[in-house]
Amino acid sequence: MPLKIRFCENNKGKGAVYRRLTEEFPDLNIKIKSCVKQCGKCREMPIAVVDKKKVSGTDGDVLYTQIIQQIQKNVASEE
């Protein structure tokens, strides 16, 4: 089952990460939502929710790396 990746529309730094992920992983369920219920952290740093788990980074590149690690863990667990 593909991962669900959600970004808050108000989160700074999500744009480049979202575009990169949708280009590299078109089969994943990646969406920008109006809210991902992480308001405190969402204002402070780039953040995403990957299968209901909060993933964050100090900047967009770190967030991207964290999400890639989650994708790799998911692929490994399915094999």
Can you give the pLDDT at residue 56?
92
pLDDT of residue 41: 79
Quote the mean pLDDT of the chain.
89
Select the highest-mean-pLDDT range: 7-11, 18-22, 33-37, 71-75.
18-22
Kindly list the structural domains of the chain, giving each domain's residue range(s) and its CATH number in brackets, ordered by start.
4-78 (3.40.30)
pLDDT above 70: residue 38:
yes
CA distances from 13 to 8, 9, 22, 42, 72 (A): 10, 10, 15, 10, 22
